[in-house]
């Protein structure tokens, strides 16, 4: 196994994800690190958001992360050999008002990573744009869509259900 100090962000996410799975803790990568991976690193994130999908008690996460050298500081987990911090947003796993049922499993040399699909990754970034006017997240959504085969009809359906038709049109314009 590669040392933590030599792991890329996504390899570290897979390592942590696999370890937590072994401990009975189900998490899914979302947020900026998922956007970085899905956009072929056109975006850079310095944290790893692993959504705690079954609301496992924090104590169990602290214990499991301690087994692999992470220490909790505030709401982050830090490893002395890594520049990335790990966070555990509470579930449920969703984008806007809709739950996410299916995630992708991607194998790396460091473990198996559960990650939002590319289409759900676009929706995750668009939710930040739709509800918080985060222009950086709009750009991330565009990069993810440009770098992956995404389901634009599904993204449109979701956007309309969220009541964000005008904002969705801004996203489409950015894809041109």
pLDDT, mean of each 10-residue run, the chain (176 residues): 95 98 97 96 94 94 98 96 96 90 95 98 97 97 98 98 97 96
Please report, for the domain that includes residue 63, its CATH number. 3.30.460.40
pTM value?
0.94
Residue ending a domain, among 115, 134, 167, is 115
Q: Please name the residue ranges forming H helices in the chain.
A: 9-22, 31-38, 58-67, 118-132, 135-147, 152-161, 165-175
Range of the domain at 133: 118-175
Q: Do 32 and 90 fall within a single domain?
A: yes
94, 115, 136 - which closes a domain: 115
Two structure tokens written together for 163: 């009541």
Return the pLDDT at 64.
Answer: 98
Name the nearest CA neighbour of 114 among 61, 52, 68. 52
d(CA 26, CA 173): 37
In this prediction, residue 69 carries a pLDDT of 98
Q: Are residues 80 and 150 in the same domain?
A: no
Give the list of residues 6+ apart from residue 96 with CB closer than 8 angstroms, or none. Answer: 123, 127, 130, 131, 158, 161, 162
In DSSP notation, 84-133 reads: -EEE--BS--EETTEE----EEEEETTEEEEE--HHHHHHHHHHHHHHH-
Residues 36 and 64 in one domain: yes
Residues 59 and 71 both lie in one domain: yes
> CA-to-CA distance for 130 and 162, rounded, in angstroms?
9
pLDDT at 55: 87
pLDDT given at position 90: 86
Shared domain for 83 and 99, answered yes or no, is yes
């Amino acid at each position: 196994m590669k040392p933590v100090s030599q792991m890329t962000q996504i390899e570290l996410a897979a390592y942590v994800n696999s370890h937590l799975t072994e401990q009975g803790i189900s998490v899914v990568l979302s947020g900026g690190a998922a956007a970085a991976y899905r956009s072929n690193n056109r975006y850079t994130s310095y944290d790893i958001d692993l959504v705690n999908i079954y609301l496992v008690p924090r104590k169990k996460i602290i214990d499991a992360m301690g087994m692999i050298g992470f220490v909790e500081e505030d709401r982050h987990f830090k490893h002395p050999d890594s520049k990335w911090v790990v966070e555990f947003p509470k579930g449920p796993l969703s984008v806007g008002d809709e739950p996410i049922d299916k995630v992708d499993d991607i194998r790396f040399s460091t473990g198996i990573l559960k990650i939002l699909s590319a289409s759900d990754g676009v929706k995750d970034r668009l939710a930040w744009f739709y509800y918080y006017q985060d222009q950086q997240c709009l750009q991330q959504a565009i990069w993810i869509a440009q770098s992956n085969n995404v389901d634009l009809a599904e993204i449109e359906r979701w956007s309309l259900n969220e009541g964000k038709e005008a904002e969705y049109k801004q996203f489409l314009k950015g894809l041109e």
